[in-house]
Amino acid sequence: MPILAAQRVVTPQGVLSPGVVETDGERITHVGPTTGSAPDRVLVPGLVDLQVNGIDDVDVASAEGGDWERLDALLAAQGVTTWCPTLVTAPLDRYARPLARIAEAAARPGARPAIAGAHLEGPFLGGKPGAHPPDLIIPADLRWLEDLPPGIALVTVAPEPPGAADAIAALVRRGVLVSLGHSAATIDQARAGVDAGARLVTHGFNGMSGLDHRAPGMVGALLTDDRVAVSLIADLVHVHPAALEVAFRCKPADRVVLVTDSVAWRRGRVGGIDLVHDGTAPRLPDGTLAGSALTLDRAVANVVAHCGVSLERAVAAASANPAALLGLDDRGALEPGRRADIAALHAETLEAQATWVGGEQVHG
């Protein structure tokens, strides 16, 4: 029976120091303390990234053939074992082909980071487009949404345009996770979106109405409404460490999610949007932030090192919490019965050193 040991093993009940994880191959059968020798590393659940537009030089919107194997390797190198390929704003007739390619990639056999489903970040956004082309942002099209193929896990919409609440409710009825984002909504409009069924806010603080003492906006809603989780880009560029800490302090433990919002920065493109990396983050030529070059293991390390967040909370924000939002109760935690999706992190830097998917090592 395969046994993995480490000086620290992060479990839902706390950190074992040292500990072991035993598997029967695909599933975890035992997690517990050990008195034997253990490598100086940290074992955590496989990480789950809800927002990946691309990585390095591979853009999800145009990925085909061997591009998917490269994405597999780049994700596994971060400790990611489940992810959502993300498509940004485009004309409605431009989504069918990339969605078909994502579905084909998800159906490939073998041990690899699992595609939970696509994330559509647009085009049904609002008054804070960020890097999304404003001329392509449109009100929600209910018929188009009803005709979407299976395999859509997550859709980001803004709550303030006409028809947004109906679109949110329609998506929720299909079992799709709805997130609010790229929005200039008032706090009341944001709460109406939550009332309609939204359970997440996309990249909190970025692309949304800020917190004013008389107009709390989207940020006021995400910080005070425990019905919604908030995703955060913790590259320390998109959001100041103090603001990241505020979110972790305000939200319940299971309502914070770390994402990368990574893009093919080396290729200089995300979907139909051109970008450049200025040494801090990918941006439009006018300086507008356009995704990140972040890895999810680095996001975990950043909030631990700079935001006063415990290792347990940081790991949960990158594993258990996003898995739960997607309804994937078979992963996201090191406990018996779960899939043996596991990452081994460096004891000090928390950089991913090895990754297992369903008990099979895919990195390290």
- List the catalytic residues: 261
- Provide the β-strand partners of residue 59: 54
Phi then psi for residue 63, to 5 deg, are: -65, 140
| Closest C-alpha to 45, from 81, 5, 19, 75 | 81
Closest C-alpha to 141, from 153, 157, 118: 157
Rounded CA separation 174/336 (Å): 31
Q: Which two tokens stand for residue 11?
A: 């479990």
**Side by side, which strands form the sheet with 41-45?**
14-16, 8-11, 41-45, 342-346, 352-357, 360-363
Q: Which two tokens stand for residue 227?
A: 């019905």
Residue 338's identity, in one-letter code, is R
Is residue 334 within 8 Å of 324, Cβ to Cβ?
Answer: no
- Could you give the angle at the alpha carbon of 34 between the alpha carbons of 21 and 11, nearest 5°? 45
Structure tokens at 112: 């690899």
- Measured CA to CA, the distance from residue 23 to residue 1 in angstroms comes to 6
